[in-house]
């Protein structure tokens, strides 16, 4: 490890570190535009100049281009270096369009900061300025090319880092231009990061265009809830409206970036139709009264039918606090639940994945980028957990290889191997792989070269297995765990990475004492044993896969108590509706899919946004001390009030209830000690028993036959996940729903590409255009759980559809 | 303390400088001054009977001015609200269909303003200006909260010529790329000529 001196202070850093990074470790921020920790150095901007006074390198050099060497002596304050940097700033400002006052970057602009730091307050250049035309880059990113300083960060990020090609650098000389060859919507689902990485205001956040300055925003660390990866972000709010998400660097999770679903999915929190009023059967009341009403209803039901007649259900987007209180309430009062998933299959999948994730195998999203050969089983990264695709892109960039075994026409922004395997054959293939890897391979001959893949994984310095939990069965999920273990036995290092369904799916799986899902709760409602349901932050209307059954069953309940912050048609029908606070108001903890416990702060106090209180004009001219429309509680507070007699108003009692609930939550989750959040929970304490046996041949399920097609309801990057699908911004970039099928399957079922198909289930129909995808497995039909589709007719998200159910005429 | 240090180099007083003489002299001078002013016209002006024209630069009630071409000057850049030491300015920026950034609403709470003039100094468009009108007293504190319509005045105020959108390189209905002060026409990126 070379040792060098920077500004008279010594530091030892690993070989290969750049001088600019070494200085940063000493807390010395050398100015930079083109250097970015995720993108590396190019030496384009020349603003990081420092003086090397002694040692192997001498003179003024770019600190981002020089690797540290033993004995270097660096001065960042050397007069010549300071003068050099001052001139660089001045010439970077020659063509600057003088538009900071109307630029949205103003206030957090690196160019602004360094211009001030370089003491370049007054323009000396009197010549003419070069100008550029802007492009329309779609609804997410605003383009203002005149502000560019040619640092190349955007093209390096867009093309090299994410692997998309539609934005880059054009032109020569002083006419260098960054944009698309023609105006148009950016193709990359990571395009929002351009607004973060551009050091000036060329790319700014379009949804918050001209809305405010960063210094006026309430900014706090928060988390993304739109998939299970738990990317870290900084949320900004102003006048009680969530305005913007920015990536919050976490080198173990999302690195420096976010996907566009995470960046632009926040609109639900300040939506005009967000329910803010407590109601009993549609009649508004104070939240205290409604809570009392609900509590009395629970008591009456328990007295009359016993504690098991009260069921609680929540979803995997609820915070750890909420889950802990629900778990405690069920244990203490004997209530049914908590159900944390919609279907039994999802519950089993979640639990299997969590149980199979042994501590020696678990890898983080960031560690995935260091893997060398990655096998993705039953996951569609770009659609299910977009940032995973970005991680895999880094694997491929550094010479690794990615193989995807999935029936869908998986697309990734780089070259990879795709085995389009029918879901019913996936288990057998994974099992064959395990046998091959363990060396007792008698791989059944299939069209796929299992032996070659096994050999490749075996020869890899660092193999990793990524497995989805949405379309697979628990059997395959457990097999993926076995595969990682087999690799671990031959390799000592192997990674296992499950993609779960929901931001807190890991914690939700830890609450499952018995297998209870919404499906089982409905069974019990139907047979009369459950009379009252408390549904917490779970949008049954949108998420339960059988809407008709749901509606019927809910009608049989004596009482339905709903706690949520999104608008749903059910809100006005239920006996008691209690408005809760989204993550921006409540904060809380979430456990991501690798078991990492992460915290989010509250960003703002809730209440009607200023658009509501003031129309589009100024806020009302009244003095008052309370915020209109702010009568909501964090779900866990409302639950504490429901379960504890005295907790209705006394916050301290609510907090005490929470503390005890968290302490009892799970031995693996230590929230009482000083364990800093952001660390992985103790996976050793998670029961690895109870995993379904993976011995014996995989049972052949009759899912593949010429007379049926296997329908998979899946996630898309945009338009399917409940919360982000409410974003008007993302609605502009989402694709309209289609049913994807292999061309041969389309033909064999007498359907026509581009024409609608109608699928009938018990007198209910779903009509959706068919689109051919030759990269898919035959015999499969893939439909997104799109908010524009009424897909809630199938009862499950993986079902067999018979030929007779498909109708080509589209009516 | 030593004796030496207390010594002074004062000379003894002459008879004309004796205390009696100088007291008489001062008395006479004082009466003379009074007598002189008794005969003079008073220079004190009684406010509010007399209202003086204050210097242009005196700092009192704040206004929002217009560009020379009559359009609203303020671009809602939030610099004045950021610099204001008592945080009495608030606004909401937005975009007009013509491409100009403007304040959808703009509020100054004169109950709090200390008339320091920092907002005027920070303003990049010469929109916000302090005027000599200091008579801004109200019984109801809420009437001291001025909205945009109360703040806007006709004309350019103290800066008769500056027009921000003539200089800033952003496109509005009046000027496109290359049409602002000291700009060349937009480059053709598809050209390979040097
Ligand atoms: S557009 Fe921004 S990121 Fe791209 S080169 Fe210009 S200044 Fe750098
Ligand atoms: S990958 Fe998932 S967690 Fe990360 S930003 Fe995107 S939606 Fe959010
Ligand atoms: S004069 Fe001073 S106190 Fe008054 S609004 Fe301007 S900056 Fe604020
Ligand atoms: S500083 Fe000037 S242009 Fe900016 S918001 Fe204030 S008045 Fe408007
Ligand atoms: S940061 Fe070193 S040259 Fe740009």
The pLDDT tens digits of the residues spanning A134-181 come to 999 999 999 999 999 999 999 999 999 999 999 999 998 889 999 999
CB atoms within 10 A of CB A678: 13
Position B103 pLDDT exceeds 50: yes
Contacts of B190 in chain A (CB under 8 A): 170-171
Q: Report d(CA B34, CA A200) in Å as an integer.
A: 70
Contacts of A210 in chain B (CB under 8 A): 76, 93-95, 101
Over residues B135-190, the pLDDT tens digits come to: 988 899 899 999 999 999 999 999 999 999 999 999 999 999 999 999 999 999 88
Name all contacts of A1-6 with Cβ < 8 Å and 24+ positions apart.
A2/A68, A2/A69, A2/A70, A2/A71, A2/A72, A3/A70, A3/A71, A4/A55, A4/A68, A4/A69, A4/A70, A4/A71, A4/A72, A4/A73, A4/A74, A5/A72, A5/A73, A5/A74, A6/A74, A6/A75, A6/A76
Phi, psi angles (nearest 5°) of residue A314? -145, -175
For residue A651, what pLDDT band results from cuts at 50, 70 and 90? confident
Position A675 pLDDT exceeds 70: no
Name the H helices within chain B: 3-6, 19-38, 79-83, 118-122, 148-151, 164-167
- Please tell me the predicted confidence (pLDDT) of residue B1: 44
For residue A670, what pLDDT band results from cuts at 50, 70 and 90? confident
Which string of b and e fits A153-170 if b means at least 16 CB within 10 Å? bbbbbbbebbbbebbbbe
Contact criterion met (CB < 8 Å) for B125 and A101: yes
Inter-chain Cβ pairs, chain A and chain B, closer than 8 A = 106
**Helix (H) or strand (E) segment spanning residue A347:** helix A344-356
Contact A257, A156 (CB under 8 A): no
Question: Which residue of chain B comes nearest to A125, CA vs CA?
Answer: B182
CA distance B59 to chain A (A): 24
Position A811 pLDDT exceeds 50: no
- Strand, coil or helix: what is A49? strand
Q: Report d(CA A706, CA A703) in Å as an integer.
A: 10
Over residues B50-61, the pLDDT tens digits come to: 988 999 999 999
If you average pLDDT over residues B79-108, what whole number do you get?
97
Non-local CB neighbours of B92 within 8 Å, separated by 6+ positions:
A212, A239, A610, A618, B76, B103, B104, B105
Contacts of A133 in chain B (CB under 8 A): 177, 186
Over its C-alpha atoms, chain A yields an Rg (Å, rounded) of: 28
Contact A786, A730 (CB under 8 A): no
Over residues A30-72, the pLDDT tens digits come to: 999 999 999 999 999 999 999 999 999 999 999 999 999 999 9
Q: Which two tokens stand for residue A675?
A: 């364990």
Which residue out of A18, A37, A43 has the highest number of ligand 5 atoms within 8 Å of its CB and is therefore the one to mutate? Answer: A43
Contacts of B169 in chain A (CB under 8 A): 97-99, 129, 131, 146
Edge-to-edge strand list for the sheet holding A576-579? A283-284, A279-280, A576-579, A559-564, A532-536, A310-314, A336-339
- Please tell me the predicted confidence (pLDDT) of residue A441: 61
- Please tell me the predicted confidence (pLDDT) of residue A409: 95
Q: Report d(CA A602, CA A599) in Å as an integer.
A: 10
Contact criterion met (CB < 8 Å) for A131 and B186: yes
CA distances to A338, A441, A752 from A536, rounded to whole Å, are 10, 49, 43
Q: Report d(CA B155, CA B143) in Å as an integer.
A: 24
Over its C-alpha atoms, chain B yields an Rg (Å, rounded) of: 30
For residue A337, what pLDDT band results from cuts at 50, 70 and 90? confident
If you average pLDDT over residues B64-79, what whole number do you get?
97
Which residue out of A193, A202, A203, A204 has the highest number of ligand 1 atoms within 8 Å of its CB and is therefore the one to mutate? Answer: A202
For residue A446, what pLDDT band results from cuts at 50, 70 and 90? low
Q: Is A527 exposed, middle or buried, given 0-12, 13-18 or 19+ CB atoms closer than 10 A?
A: exposed
Q: Report d(CA A14, CA A2) in Å as an integer.
A: 7
Nearest to A467 by CA among A504, A419, A499: A499
Non-local CB neighbours of A778 within 8 Å, separated by 6+ positions:
A422, A742, A744, A745
- Please tell me the predicted confidence (pLDDT) of residue A711: 95
Would you mind telling me the total number of residues written for chain A in this entry?
811
Q: Which residue has the higher pLDDT, B128 or B45?
A: B128
Q: Report d(CA A216, CA A227) in Å as an integer.
A: 29
DSSP state of A40: B
Q: Is A399 exposed, middle or buried, given 0-12, 13-18 or 19+ CB atoms closer than 10 A?
A: exposed
CB atoms within 10 A of CB A49: 24
If you average pLDDT over residues A679-691, what whole number do you get?
78
Non-local CB neighbours of A403 within 8 Å, separated by 6+ positions:
A373, A374, A375, A376, A416, A417, A418, A419, A453, A456
Lowest mean pLDDT among A192-206, A626-640, A677-691: A677-691
Question: Taking each helix axis from N to C terminus, what angle separates A518-526 and A547-556, rounded to the nearest 10 degrees?
Answer: 50
Name the H helices within A93-176: 110-117, 153-155
Contact A299, A325 (CB under 8 A): no
A131 at the B interface (CB within 8 A)?
Answer: yes
- A114 alpha carbon to ligand 5 midpoint, in Å? 13
**Helix (H) or strand (E) segment spanning residue A21:** helix A19-25
Alpha carbon dihedral A773, A775, A781, A786, in 10-degree steps, equals: -70
Contact A309, A301 (CB under 8 A): yes
**% of chain B with per-residue pLDDT over 90:** 73
Position A699 pLDDT exceeds 60: no
Which string of b and e fits B90-112 if b means at least 16 CB within 10 Å? bbbbbeeeeebbbbbbbbbbbee
Answer yes or no: is the ipTM higher than 0.95: no
Q: Which two tokens stand for residue A122?
A: 């007054």
Contact A321, A328 (CB under 8 A): no
Contact A403, A396 (CB under 8 A): no
For residue B2, what pLDDT band results from cuts at 50, 70 and 90? very low
Non-local CB neighbours of A336 within 8 Å, separated by 6+ positions:
A308, A309, A310, A311, A312, A330, A516, A521, A524, A530
Position A674 pLDDT exceeds 60: no
Q: Report d(CA A73, CA A57) in Å as an integer.
A: 9
Lowest mean pLDDT among A90-104, A182-196, A614-628, A694-708: A694-708
Question: Which residue of chain A comes nearest to B77, CA vs CA?
Answer: A101
- Please tell me the predicted confidence (pLDDT) of residue B44: 86
Residue among A146, A171, A215 whose CB faces B169 most closely:
A146
- B81 alpha carbon to ligand 3 midpoint, in Å? 8
Residue from B74, B75, B169 to probe the interface with A (highest A Cβ count within 10 Å)? B169
**% of chain A with per-residue pLDDT over 70:** 95
Nearest to A196 by CA among A259, A137, A135: A259
**% of chain A with per-residue pLDDT over 90:** 81
Q: Which two tokens stand for residue A468?
A: 């989805």
Q: Report d(CA B67, CA B155) in Å as an integer.
A: 7
- Please tell me the predicted confidence (pLDDT) of residue A168: 96
Q: Which two tokens stand for residue B109?
A: 């709470």
Phi, psi angles (nearest 5°) of residue A400? -80, 180
What is the average pLDDT score of chain A?
92
- Please tell me the predicted confidence (pLDDT) of residue A622: 87
Question: Taking each helix axis from N to C terminus, what angle separates A651-665 and A635-643, rounded to the nearest 10 degrees?
Answer: 100
Q: Report d(CA A478, CA A11) in Å as an integer.
A: 47
Residue ranges lining ligand 5, Cβ < 6 Å: A 32-35, 43-48, 62, 64
How, if at all, do strands A3-6 and A9-12 pair?
A: antiparallel
Q: Which two tokens stand for residue A380?
A: 């569609």
Over residues A732-761, the pLDDT tens digits come to: 999 999 999 999 999 999 999 999 999 999
Contacts of A129 in chain B (CB under 8 A): 169, 182-184
Which string of b and e fits A711-722 if b means at least 16 CB within 10 Å? bbbbbbbbbbbb
Q: Report d(CA B179, CA B170) in Å as an integer.
A: 10
Question: Which residue of chain A comes nearest to B167, CA vs CA?
Answer: A98
Q: Is B14 exposed, middle or buried, given 0-12, 13-18 or 19+ CB atoms closer than 10 A?
A: exposed
For residue A697, what pLDDT band results from cuts at 50, 70 and 90? low
Alpha carbon dihedral A513, A515, A520, A525, in 10-degree steps, equals: -20
């Amino acid at each position: 490890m070379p040792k060098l001196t920077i500004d008279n202070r010594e530091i030892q850093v690993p070989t290969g570190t750049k001088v600019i990074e070494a200085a940063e470790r000493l807390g010395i921020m050398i100015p930079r535009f083109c250097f970015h920790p995720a993108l590396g150095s190019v030496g384009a901007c020349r603003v990081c100049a420092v003086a090397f006074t002694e040692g192997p390198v001498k003179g003024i050099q770019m600190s981002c281009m020089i690797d540290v060497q033993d004995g270097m002596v660096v001065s960042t304050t050397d007069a010549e270096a300071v003068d050099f940097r001052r001139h660089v700033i001045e010439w970077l400002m020659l063509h600057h369009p003088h538009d900071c006052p109307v630029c949205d970057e103003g206030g957090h602009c690196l160019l602004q900061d360094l211009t001030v730091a370089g003491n370049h307050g007054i323009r000396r250049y009197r010549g003419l300025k070069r100008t550029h035309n802007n492009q329309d880059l779609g609804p997410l990113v605003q383009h203002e090319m005149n502000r560019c300083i040619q640092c190349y960060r955007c093209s390096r990020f867009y093309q090299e880092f994410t692997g998309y090609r539609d934005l880059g650098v054009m032109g020569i000389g002083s006419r260098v231009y960054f944009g698309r060859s023609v105006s148009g919507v950016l193709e990359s689902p990571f395009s929002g990061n351009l607004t973060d990485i551009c050091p000036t205001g060329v790319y700014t956040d379009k949804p918050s265009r001209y809305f405010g300055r960063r210094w006026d925003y309430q900014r706090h660390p928060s988390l993304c809830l739109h998939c299970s990866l738990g990317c870290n972000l900084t949320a900004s709010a102003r006048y009680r409206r969530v305005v913007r998400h920015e990536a919050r660097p976490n080198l173990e999770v999302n690195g420096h970036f976010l996907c566009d679903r995470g960046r632009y999915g926040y609109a639900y929190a300040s939506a005009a139709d967000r329910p803010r009023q407590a109601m009993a059967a549609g009649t508004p009341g104070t939240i205290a009264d409604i809570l009392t009403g609900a509590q009395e209803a629970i008591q009456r039901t328990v007295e009359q039918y016993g504690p098991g007649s009260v069921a609680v259900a929540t979803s995997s987007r609820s915070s750890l606090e909420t889950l802990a209180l629900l778990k405690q309430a069920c244990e203490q009062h004997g209530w049914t639940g908590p159900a944390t998933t919609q279907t039994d299959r999802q519950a089993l999948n979640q639990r299997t994945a969590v149980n199979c994730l042994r501590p020696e195998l678990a890898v983080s999203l960031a560690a995935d980028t260091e893997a060398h050969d990655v096998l993705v089983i039953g996951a569609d990264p770009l659609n299910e957990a977009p940032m995973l695709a970005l991680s895999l892109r880094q694997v491929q960039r550094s010479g690794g290889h990615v193989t995807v075994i999935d029936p869908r026409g998986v697309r990734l922004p780089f070259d990879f191997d795709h085995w389009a395997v029918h879901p019913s054959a996936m288990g057998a293939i994974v099992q064959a792989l395990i046998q091959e890897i363990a060396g007792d391979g008698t791989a059944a001959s299939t069209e796929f070269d299992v032996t070659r893949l096994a050999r490749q994984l075996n020869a890899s310095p660092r193999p990793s297995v990524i497995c989805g939990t949405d379309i697979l069965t628990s059997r395959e999920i457990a097999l993926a765990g076995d595969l990682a273990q087999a690799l671990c036995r031959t390799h000592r290092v192997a990674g296992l990475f499950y993609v779960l369904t929901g931001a807190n799916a890991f914690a939700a799986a830890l609450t499952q004492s018995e297998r209870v899902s919404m499906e089982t709760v409905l069974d019990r409602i139907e047979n009369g044993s459950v009379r009252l349901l408390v549904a917490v932050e779970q949008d049954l209307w949108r998420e339960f896969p059988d809407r008709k059954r749901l509606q019927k069953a809910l009608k049989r309940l004596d009482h339905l108590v709903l706690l949520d912050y999104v608008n749903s048609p059910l809100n006005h029908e239920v006996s008691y509706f209690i408005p809760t606070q989204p993550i921006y108001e409540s904060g809380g903890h979430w456990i991501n899919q690798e078991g990492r416990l992460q915290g989010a702060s509250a960003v703002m106090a809730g209440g009607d946004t200023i658009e509501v209180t003031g129309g589009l004009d100024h806020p009302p001219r009244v003095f008052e001390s309370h915020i209109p429309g702010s009568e909501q509680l964090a779900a866990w507070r409302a639950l504490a009030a429901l379960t504890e007699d005295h907790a209705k108003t006394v916050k301290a009692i609510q907090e005490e209830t929470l503390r005890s609930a968290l302490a009892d939550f799970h031995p693996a989750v230590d929230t009482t000690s000083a364990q800093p959040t952001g660390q992985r929970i103790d996976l050793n304490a998670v029961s690895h028993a109870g995993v379904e046996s993976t011995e014996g041949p995989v049972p052949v399920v009759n899912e593949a036959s010429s007379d049926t097609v296997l329908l998979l309801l899946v996630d898309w990057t945009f338009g399917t996940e409940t919360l982000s699908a409410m974003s008007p911004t993302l609605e502009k970039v989402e694709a309209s729903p289609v049913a994807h099928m292999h061309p041969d399957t389309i033909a064999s079922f007498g359907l026509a590409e581009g024409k609608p198909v109608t699928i009938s289930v018990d007198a209910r129909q779903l009509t959706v255009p068919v689109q051919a995808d030759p990269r898919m497995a035959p015999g499969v039909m893939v439909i997104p759980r799109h908010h524009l589709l009424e897909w809630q007719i199938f009862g499950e998200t993986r079902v067999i559809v018979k030929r007779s159910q498909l109708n080509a005429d589209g009516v | 303390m030593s004796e030496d240090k207390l010594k002074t180099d004062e000379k003894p007083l002459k008879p004309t400088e004796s205390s009696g003489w100088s007291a008489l002299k001062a008395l006479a001078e004082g009466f003379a001054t009074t007598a002189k002013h008794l005969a003079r016209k008073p220079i004190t002006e009684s406010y509010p009977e007399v209202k003086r024209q204050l210097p242009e630069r005196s700092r009192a009630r704040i206004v929002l001015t217009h560009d020379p071409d009559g359009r609203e000057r303020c671009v809602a850049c939030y610099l004045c609200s950021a610099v204001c030491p008592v945080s009495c300015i608030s606004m909401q920026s937005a975009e007009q269909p013509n491409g100009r950034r403007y304040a959808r609403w703009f509020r100054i709470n004169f109950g709090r303003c200390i008339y320091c003039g920092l907002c005027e100094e920070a303003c990049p468009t010469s929109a916000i200006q302090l005027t000599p009108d200091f008579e801004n007293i109200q019984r109801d504190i809420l009437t001291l909260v001025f909205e945009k319509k109360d703040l806007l005045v006709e004309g350019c105020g103290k800066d008769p010529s500056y027009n921000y959108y003539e200089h800033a390189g952003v496109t509005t209905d009046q000027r496109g790329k290359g049409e602002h002060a000291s700009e060349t026409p937009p480059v053709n990126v598809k050209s390979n000529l040097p």
